[in-house]
Amino acid sequence: MPNTFARTAAIAALLAGAASGALAQEDNGSILVQSTTSTANSGLYDYLLPLFEDETGITVNVVAVGTGQAIENARNCDGDVLLVHAKPAEEKFVEDGFGTERTDLMYNDFVIVGPEADPAGLDGMAVVEDALALLAERSATFASRGDDSGTHKKELSLWSEAGIDPAAGSGDWYRETGSGMGATLNAAIGMGAYTMTDRATWISFENKQDYEIFVEGDDALFNQYGVIPVSPEACPSVNAEGAQTFANWLLSAEGQTAIGDFVVDGQQLFFPNAPEDDTAS
């Protein structure tokens, strides 16, 4: 009987050993991207990365979190490249010496979605400020990310431009989920609330139920993504060469074309807009 047990213990120990053997991972040819969730959740990386990896042999690992957390992680040197969408915060990151250079990479736009019944009557509104004013006036339930992400920062700036302080309705009609875009969409749908999302996440989101887009196309809803290699001066541990190679490839004609080629359900999710001189390199 003790034999049976000892044998089992030995097998368990072997298993653990096998686990540790298989876990050894430190590849010089890999980089870590701290990314916003919309690019990862929409499947963009699943499409782009194999192209890049085939060409360069560099493995790209992606940690997808909100823009605020991604920038914070990169400030802790836990990443080689930053790919997010909150321009002022990105510029501050570079100014503070954590990034070598910020470059526009691509864009899409934000949309405001809500239940088909449209209780606030947003249908047909072209100006986002008016739409937000209407939401506040009617105290229509609105789900905010509330997580310091790029989308959240954008949403707050839109309320501010509309001259509204949504915090006054916090917990009442203004509901801050403190979660990612997907979780916030699920929550909004669960409580019949309006919410603002980037178009890429919305198109690839599979739990839309009876939700549809009510406000889109306003220039104020423009959503710019940027790419920043993390500075080896601030973070000596980074794979600076790999990071630069990745950024250059994304900004090259080939990378830009690949971004434009990525479609979900026949719709293009991201529109490349790297500066011309970069696409040339």
Does the protein bind other proteins through residue 170 (CB under 8 A)? no
- Shortest separation between residue 27's beta carbon and other proteins, angstroms: 10
Tokens of 30: 């890999």
Does the protein bind other proteins through residue 71 (CB under 8 A)? no
Helix, strand, or coil (residue 242): helix
d(Cα 81, Cα 68) in Å, to the nearest integer?
14
Stretch near other proteins under the rule CB under 8 A, chosen from 103-111, 175-183, 247-255, 261-269: 175-183
- The residue behind tokens 């609330």 is 193
Helix, strand, or coil (residue 272): strand
d(Cα 94, Cα 200) in Å, to the nearest integer?
26
**Which of 182, 260 has the CB closer to other proteins?**
182
Detail the DSSP E strand segments found in the chain. Answer: 30-35, 59-64, 81-84, 103-115, 142-144, 174-176, 194-198, 211-215, 222-229, 263-264, 267-268, 271-272
Whole-angstrom CA distances from 86 to 27, 74, 155 are 31, 14, 11
**Which of 36, 256 has the CB closer to other proteins?**
36
| DSSP label at residue 75 | H
Tokens of 48: 């782009």
Single residue of 64, 81, 193, 196 touching other proteins by CB under 8 A: 64
Does the protein bind other proteins through residue 12 (CB under 8 A)? yes
Answer whether 135's CB lies under 8 Å from 142's CB: yes
**Which of 61, 273 has the CB closer to other proteins?**
61
Does the protein bind other proteins through residue 54 (CB under 8 A)? no
d(Cα 187, Cα 177) in Å, to the nearest integer?
8
- Among positions 23-42, residues that touch other proteins (CB under 8 A) are 23, 25-26, 32, 37, 41
**Which of 110, 173 has the CB closer to other proteins?**
110
Does the protein bind other proteins through residue 117 (CB under 8 A)? no
Instruction: Count interface residues toward other proteins (CB under 8 A).
Output: 42
Stretch near other proteins under the rule CB under 8 A, chosen from 11-19, 116-124, 144-152, 218-226: 11-19
**Which of 9, 167 has the CB closer to other proteins?**
9
Single residue of 53, 78, 129, 216 touching other proteins by CB under 8 A: 78
Single residue of 164, 181, 196, 221 touching other proteins by CB under 8 A: 181
- Among positions 184-243, residues that touch other proteins (CB under 8 A) are 185-186, 204-208, 235, 237
- Shortest separation between residue 66's beta carbon and other proteins, angstroms: 11
Does the protein bind other proteins through residue 8 (CB under 8 A)? yes
Of 138, 137, 124, 141, which Cα lies nearest the Cα of 217? 124
Of 239, 139, 147, which Cα lies nearest the Cα of 194? 139
Of 61, 100, 69, 64, which Cα lies nearest the Cα of 86? 69
d(Cα 190, Cα 117) in Å, to the nearest integer?
14
Footprint of other proteins (CB under 8 A): 1-2, 4-5, 8, 12-13, 15-16, 18-20, 22-23, 25-26, 32, 37, 41, 46, 61-64, 73, 75-78, 180-183, 185-186, 204-208, 235, 237
